Structure 1
Amino acid sequence: MIFKPFFRGRSRSFKVCAFLLAGVCCSSLAFAQSAGRLKAIELVKTAATVFERGDMVRVIQLCRQALALDPSYPRAYTWLGAAYQRRGEKETACNAFNRVLKLAPNSPDSQRAARGIKELGCNTSPTRMAPPAPIGLRLENRWAAPSGITSLAFSIDGAFLSGGGLDGTWRLWRLPDGRLDRLERGQGVEAGAAAASADFYALGLADGKVRFFDARDGREADTVDGRTGAVGGLSFSPDGRLLAVSGTQGALKILDGHSHVLQKIIPGDGFLLTGVSFSPDGRYLAAGVGSVVRIYEVPSG
Structure 2
Amino acid sequence: MSSTGNGSKLCVLGVAGVLAGTVLVGCGDGGDTKQEAGASSAKTSAGAEEQGTRAVRSAYDRTAEEDTAKVELRVRTSAQGRSETANGQGVVDLEDGDSVMTLTAQGQRIEQRVIDQVLYQKMPEGQAPGGKPWIRIDLGKVAGRQGAGDQGVSDPAQSAAYAKAITDQDVTEKGTAMVNGARTTHYRVGVDVAELPNGDALRKQVGPALPMDVWLDDEGRLRRQQIDMTVKAAPQSAGRSSGAASSAPEKVTVRTVMDFTDFGAEIEAEKPPAGQVTDMTGKALKQGKRQS
TM-score normalised over the length of structure 1 = 0.21
Which one has the largest radius of gyration? 1
| Higher normalized contact order (CA 8 Å, seq sep 6+, divided by chain length) | 2
TM-score normalised over the length of structure 2 = 0.22
